[in-house]
Chains A and B, each alone.
Chain A
Amino acid sequence: MNAQSPRFSFTSDTIALKNDNDSKKSLFKVYKGSYTSIDQTVSKKAILGRYSQNDTETYFIPILPFQKNSHYTVVYNNEVFPFTLALESSYTHLQIQALYPNSDTLPANFLKWYVQFSKPINPSKVYDHITLINNRDMTKVDRALLPLETPLLSNDGTLLTLWIEPGRQKRDLGPNKRLGEVLIPNESYTLIIDKSLKDRQGIPMETDFKHSFTVITSDRTKPSITTWELQPPLANTKAPLVIQYEELLDYGSLQNSLHIVDLSGKKIKGKFTIQSNQNKIIFSPLNNWIKNTYTIKHKPIIEDVSGNNLERLFDQDITITKVPPILELSFSIE
């Protein structure tokens, strides 16, 4: 709040003016920026918002909340009243909580990361803050990530998908043939998310996020659930069923892609937890397990980190006959 403005009070979504005899006659205007004279505001557009009045105060409610640590100026009765809303010292800055996959080795035809942020991020120009560096000469890998003007963010704004440029990962497409795949086997790289990335209040992160990894040969085999290991729980307990697998699987494709039925086909209520960075899926039942034979049903869209799913390879060779995928795994509880 600004000391020069005893009659005004400022919050991020309202400016209130104590009424005097003039208040009913003229409204105040608000400009972005700090100005010391009215002349400086003449060529500027006032901030859009709505006004309301009661007996004691006049209010301005901007369409968007005022940003923290930014300068604004109120113009009222030929006077200027600059103000700034300070960021609270207790403010919790944006952080990266998880990267999926976070493996330190990735196949050359690796397709996408998911970045889990601690709170919703500013969706504008997200990809400008993200680079891939080749560790050999610390140079930026050109055209590595798909630059979408609308970023692929979950509805709550906290989970960002980063696609490796798909045109370069698809065999035989122009970019693949001319530039090759983005990632070269035996080279190592660092994904950097710059701290300049902001949250929805316009406040940046405090530190850069870095993740280094080494590239191995491309994965051109479909994942198969037949190699998954189950640790069945005991009957009459609510112990979780733990599914362990060896191959790196895609975090996003595992969400909502499994369910469990008993012999009669009845769906078992409970919750799946995807721990793809630990190669693990955990199912916690709502009710006690009873002795029965159960089947885990999988959607064919479950894919590995190279975009090969249970049913088809990311770039399917259409000269090879398709084999139907195995989508069910059974286990018994004794």
Chain B
Amino acid sequence: MRKILFTMALGLLLTPLFANTSITDGFITGNPEIGSINAMTFSPEGVLFIGDSQGAQIVAIDMSTAPKATNEKLHIPDVELLLSELLGADSDQLQIVDMVVNPANQNIYIGTQHSSGKSILFLVNNNSLEMVPLQSVSYTTSDVSNAVAPEAKDRRGRSLRKWAISDIKYANGQVMLSGLSNAEFASTFRAIPFPFTQKQKASSLEIYHAAHGQYETASPIKAFTTTQINNEPHLIASYTCTPLVVFPLSELKSGAHTKGRTVAELGNWNTPLDIIEMEKEGARYILMANTNRALMKIKVADIESFGDSLTTRVPERADTAGVDFINLPFVNVQQLDKLNDTEFVFIQREASGKLALKTSNNRWL
């Protein structure tokens, strides 16, 4: 979903032709039979990765040759009304699941889900939405079911256990997935090398959260991104229970019992929705959209210089602790992605109740 600095750097070393031919090796043309679109992200070359909880798979679709959409004066004042008209369904039957930008051409894609269980992908074009047919695309898939608990069924044969994909990212040649189980409060984070091969298995991690040194709990990751921290690739993740944590990617080894270094607690009852990275005048910033807080801005340099983990007690600020963050004047942002080097695109529930798609820029950084 997010353009990531170190994968960008890697991308620059390769010619686009070479990158495209190698990364889409093994892709076939056809219908990937997507069960549900739950989370989406792009590789720098324009491969769309869809996390499909229903189908227990990751679907990679080559979008690098898709025509560039017209996104001048980008603004859709009422996305819900537009979707409701296009699909002939009441707004409460429809949900926007994710919004991602293809870094190769700045096309904006919106994944939606209807109450019937059907998922539909849209492209933002001319301030409207165009359905993206997925019946015949160049794609490849990776099964994630083997990483999930075996199928449990009740006495009527209904399946009970579910691993719901909460976020997906691509970096360093790996597709990373976080998810929530409906049965256990377990941390289920997976990394799968890309291009996918038959033999590769997802590495599965146990991630724990240690609160102030004494208690630790399994902690599902809700949203995450990757970035360079002190010149090392790191995962910046936020748990369902509010702490913001960082891990070196090198520590994420299969089966490892890993504790993230907590750098901030982000406030009560706050579930992060999307995390992106933006840059301005050489400084890097994390922007985070939340269920119950304004859009937050955190300086990456502050995370780098924050030596302590919050596992030792720290004096608390009013509601939160750890590295400084600044609340930007954007509340109820439900979807967020980097549009280009200077702009970000977001979907916001406005005071009027309408859900609007808008852009803003790095003057807020």
Contacts and interface: CB of A to CB of B under 8 A. Distances in A.
Contacts of B92: 122, 124-125, 198, 202
A283 B170 CA distance: 44
Contact of B87 (A47, A256, A314): A47
Contact of A172 (B150, B162, B212, B291): B212
A124 B150 contact: no
A32 B85 CA distance: 6
Nearest to B310: A174
A155 B90 contact: no
B271 A48 contact: no
B300 interface: no
Interface in B255-295: 265, 267-269, 271, 273, 291
Contacts of A168: 268
Interface stretch (A17-25, A141-149, A186-194): A141-149
Contacts of B268: 143, 167-168, 174-175, 178-179
A178 B90 contact: no
B237 interface: no
Given A67-B90, A147-B291, A256-B150, A161 B85 contact: no
Nearest to A165: B269
B152 A255 contact: yes
A202 B93 contact: yes
Interface stretch (B40-48, B114-122, B245-253): B114-122
B94 interface: yes
Given A167-B268, A256-B152, A200 B116 contact: yes
Interface in B304-324: 316, 319-321
Contacts of A253: 183-184
A263 interface: no
| Of listed A62, A122, A309, residue having the most chain B CB within 10 A | A122
B182 A172 contact: no
Contacts of A198: 92-93, 115
B183 A170 contact: no
A229 B115 CA distance: 44
A318 B216 contact: yes
Contact of B85 (A31, A66, A199): A31
Interface in A148-192: 148-159, 161, 163, 165-168, 170-175, 178-179
Interface in A60-87: 62-67, 70, 72
Given A123-B113, A148-B180, A158-B158, A62 B88 contact: yes
A111 interface: yes
A314 B217 contact: yes
Nearest to B273: A149
Nearest to B118: A64
A315 interface: yes
Contacts of B151: 256
Contacts of B269: 143, 165, 167, 175
B97 A45 contact: no
Contact of B161 (A147, A151, A255): A255
Contact of A200 (B115, B209, B217, B316): B115
A175 B86 contact: no
A317 B215 contact: yes
A24 to B, nearest CB: 25
Given A63-B120, A167-B241, A202 B158 contact: no
Interface string B103-131: 00000000001111110100000001001
Interface string B318-334: 01110000000000001
B73 interface: no
Contact of A154 (B182, B184, B209): B182
Given A149-B95, A307-B185, A202 B271 contact: no
Nearest to B38: A150
A114 B181 CA distance: 13
A200 B117 contact: yes
Interface in A279-311: 301, 303, 307, 309
B117 A157 contact: yes
A274 interface: yes
B95 to A, nearest CB: 4
B211 A173 contact: yes
Contact of B86 (A47, A155, A317): A47
B211 A166 contact: no
Nearest to B166: A150
A156 B149 contact: no
A65 B281 CA distance: 51
A202 to B, nearest CB: 5
B213 to A, nearest CB: 8
B84 interface: yes
A198 B243 CA distance: 34
Nearest to A309: B184
A30 interface: yes
A267 interface: no
A271 interface: yes
Nearest to A255: B152
Interface of A: 30-32, 44-48, 62-67, 70, 72, 111-112, 114, 120-125, 143, 146-159, 161, 163, 165-168, 170-175, 178-179, 198-202, 250, 252-253, 255-256, 271, 273-274, 301, 303, 307, 309, 314-319
Given A63-B118, A157-B117, 20 more contacts: A32-B84, A64-B87, A123-B95, A124-B93, A124-B95, A143-B268, A149-B95, A150-B164, A150-B166, A152-B182, A154-B162, A173-B211, A174-B316, A175-B241, A200-B115, A202-B93, A252-B184, A274-B154, A315-B211, A315-B215
23 contacts: A32-B89, A48-B86, A64-B114, A112-B185, A123-B113, A146-B271, A147-B291, A148-B164, A148-B180, A152-B182, A155-B162, A172-B211, A172-B214, A174-B319, A200-B115, A200-B117, A202-B92, A255-B153, A255-B154, A307-B185, A315-B211, A317-B215, A318-B216
